[in-house]
Amino acid sequence: MPEQPILICYDGSDDARRAIAAAAGLLLHRPVVVLEVTPPVTAEEEEAAFLSTGRDNLEQRLSDVRRTVHRGAQLARAHGFDASERIGVDGPVWKGVVAVADDLDASVIVVGSRGLGGAREVLEGSLSHDLARHAGRPLLIVPPAAKRG
């Protein structure tokens, strides 16, 4: 039976890079899938993009997401993981992550946290909190770096 992969959520942020490094320290020697999920393009975004550039907004977003997830997979490989890449389009983002984790039967989901609290978390949302509520599988949440000084 093949080993269940680790699913690493990666958005290019410092917190996501820290999550890969933390996962390597704890979970190395397992295959990983580096994932970026982008929300669907809204009708307003599509209209604005078409009027301003004539270019398909979803295709541009997917191109950006492919570059981001490729950099994340390269970083995971640099940390010693056998990493593959995957992207998704779903909204809210946590649903896309859970769907991919279910599809892969991931052993654990790894995600960096921005460390938001209170009103900022309500306004901006928290992928890590949403995953903790809905993933139904182990979740490694890597907190932001401690502030010195």
Q: What is the pLDDT of residue 114?
A: 77
Report pTM. Answer: 0.84
| Amino acid occupying residue 62 | L
Task: Using the predicted structure, report yes or no on whether residue 109 has a pLDDT greater than 80.
Answer: yes
**Which residue matches tokens 């490694």?**
140
Other CB atoms within 10 A of residue 63 CB: 11
Fold of 6-142: Rossmann fold (3.40.50)
Q: Mean pLDDT throughout 130-134?
A: 94
Q: What is the pLDDT of residue 1?
A: 44
**DSSP letter for each residue of 37-105:** EEPPPPHHHHHHHHHHH-S-HHHHHHHHHHHHHHHHHHHHHHTT-EEEEEEEE-SSHHHHHHHHHHHHT
**Residue 130: alpha-carbon gap to chain centroid:** 13
How far apart (Å, rounded) are the C-alpha atoms in residues 118 and 139? Answer: 22
Task: Using the predicted structure, report yes or no on whether residue 55 has a pLDDT greater than 70.
Answer: no
Tell which wins on pLDDT, 59 or 53: 59
Q: What are phi and psi of 94, to 5 degrees?
A: -55, -35
pLDDT (tens digit per residue) in 8-21: 999 999 999 999 99
What is the share, in percent, of the chain residues with pLDDT greater than 70? 82
Task: Using the predicted structure, report yes or no on whether residue 144 has a pLDDT greater than 80.
Answer: yes
Tell which wins on pLDDT, 64 or 51: 64
Binned at pLDDT 50, 70 and 90, residue 101 comes out as very high
